[in-house]
Each structure stands twice: as C-alpha cells, then as structure tokens.
Amino acid sequence: MRVAAPVVAAVPSDLAPFLDPVEGVEVEVYDPRDRDRVPGGGRDVDVLSLPMVAGPWLRRMDEVPGLRGVVLASAGFEHALPYLPDGVEMANAVEVHDTATAEMALALMLASQRHLPKHVLSQAAETWDRSTPEGQPWRSLADSTVLVLGYGGIGKALTRRLLAAECEVVAVASRDREGDELVDRVHGTDRLPELLPTADVLAVCVPLTDATTGLVDAQVLAALPDDALVVNVARGGVVDTAALMAECASGRLRAALDVTDPEPLPDGHPLWSTPGVLVVPHVGGASPASFPRMGRYLHRQLTAYRDRGRLDHVVATGGAHA
C-alpha cells in the first residue's frame, strides 16, 4: 500500500549526491559527523540511511523521532543489532559492495600467489631480488581451483572475475542447488569434506550468522591440501583464528585476510607476524565504486517504502531480530 503522506528520509551528506530524487519522498540531508543535530533536524523520520562509515548515529538510532526503517550501507549487519529500536525494520546493503569486495578478494589472491608482499619489502630495501620467499615455488592464479564458500552477491561477483582469470570455480552455499550462467552446480556445505582437498584457494564470502560462526574451523582447514591459500573477505568470526595461525605457522597453509577476529586486530597480535599471512584492515568495501551503487540501492529502497510502507531485504526488526 502506497504511503499517503510524504515519506521523510534522513540521508547522510556523503550519499546524498548519489541519490536521484524519489517522487513522494522528502530527503533531509544530515552530517553524520555532527553529534548534536539529530538526523532529520527534529522532524519525524520514516527511513534513516546510515553512511558508509556508520558513525555515532548507529548507536543513537533511538533518538531519531518517528523512525520506522533503517538502511545500512554495509552488507554485514550484526554490529547494528544491539542498537536497533523496537519495531524498527533494518535492511542491509545488497549488491552495493559486491564489486569492491570481489575486487579485493581477487587482489588478495593475486598478491599472495605472485609473492607481491615480498617484492614490496624488497623495493623498500631498494633491493633487486627475484627470488621467492624462503624458497617457495612460483605460483599463479590461472589454472587454480578456487572454492568459493558463499555464493551470494559477493561470491557471484568474485566468480565472474575468477573465470576471467582462467580459474576453475567450485561454488558452495548453505544448500545444494542447480547452477547458473557461471557454474554448473552450487554445492551444499555438507559436501565440503570431499571438495576441500581439491581447492588451491578457499575464498570465504559468507555472512556472519550463528550457522557460519567458526565454520572454517580446524577440521575444514585440515582438509585443504598443502600450500592452499585461505582468503577471507567475509567476517573474521567465520574463521577460527587460532587454527588458521597454527596451519600457517607450520608452513602448510597461507592466508590473505581483509577481516580478522578480533577486529580491529590489536597491535602485537601474533596474527600480524604469522608466516605466510597477509592482513589488510577491512578495506574491501572502501572503494569509490560503492557510492553510486549505494545511491541506486537507496533509491530502490525509498521507492519500495513509498509504495508498500516497507523496506526490501529486511534482515532484522528491533525486538525480534531475524
């Protein structure tokens, strides 16, 4: 049912330039760094859009009057659940960060397979050194088998890039199903024991839920072949950090991580110095490509709310989390 009165949406100033007008929706632009002026400027707000870096209003959503819906600018949403007011629906950012995150996953794979961290250190030392680290073999991403764990938007975006890089992709999701234009079959996680030994690279792309917390544990890691690479662009809690460090410290596995557990990774944490591990500070979605995509997604969400009085892709409701 179309909402009769004009919908009021509070939109952060970093996203407002990328949002086209929506008929029947009045946009109140707010400065997400301003801790004193409530989004909406005191008006009742139907939909609150949070910025790319959530800022103080993530924790103060209950101060926004009249709030009925929240649109996150992140695919992950677990960090927002404790602050969601009762009865308020929350949608995460669907397809917004797929491009940027898949790009980061591919970059981490290429950097690790082609020994780029070692060459960066050689450049800093102004040393022309063509050797591999500690006598490791030359590697390539081409002709590798990559097991993509999590075949949602990010997993599909990554698969497109991996196929272009001449990889064989094995897609795995929560349940077994028919394939699509990219893969012949999407395998269920129950088949991991037989699929993991075939993987040169394990790319972790699943959301963090009760079912996926600790999914990549010591048993999963042990099933990977020697010299396999674990790439995590999901959430740190999906991977057992202690088990991963043990495998990498032994030299059996390698890892390239955009996310960690704990996060932020504290200074002096042993993961920083574990051999064979590349860590970047959760910047997979930090790309200018995400802003126009978020603008288009927010436009669709405001249109849906105007037409039906509800957001699409609701992942939780305050007081009754999905």
Q: Strands 89-91 and 314-317: what pairing?
A: antiparallel
Radius of gyration of the chain (CA): 22
pLDDT given for residue 2 in this prediction: 65
In the block, tokens 């272009």 appear at 164
Query: Can you tell me the distance from the alpha carbon of 107 to that of 87, in angstroms, rounded to the nearest whole number?
Result: 41
Mean pLDDT of the chain: 96
Condensed to tens digits (0 to 9), the pLDDT of residues 215-245 reads 999 999 999 999 999 999 999 999 999 999 9
pLDDT given for residue 56 in this prediction: 95
Condensed to tens digits (0 to 9), the pLDDT of residues 242-271 reads 999 999 999 999 999 999 999 999 999 999
What are the residue numbers of the active site?
A: 235, 263, 282
- Its pTM stands at 0.90
pLDDT given for residue 247 in this prediction: 98
321 against 50, higher pLDDT: 50
pLDDT given for residue 299 in this prediction: 98
Residue 17, Cβ density class (10 Å: 0-12 exposed, 13-18 middle, ≥19 buried): exposed
CA distance to 237, 241, 249, 251, 268, per residue, from 246 (Å)? 16, 9, 5, 9, 17
DSSP state letter for 61: G
Q: Which domains are assigned to the chain?
A: 7-96+288-317 (3.40.50.720), 98-279 (3.40.50.720)
Query: Can you tell me the distance from the alpha carbon of 201 to that of 57, in angstroms, rounded to the nearest whole number?
Result: 39
Q: Which amino acid is at 88?
A: V
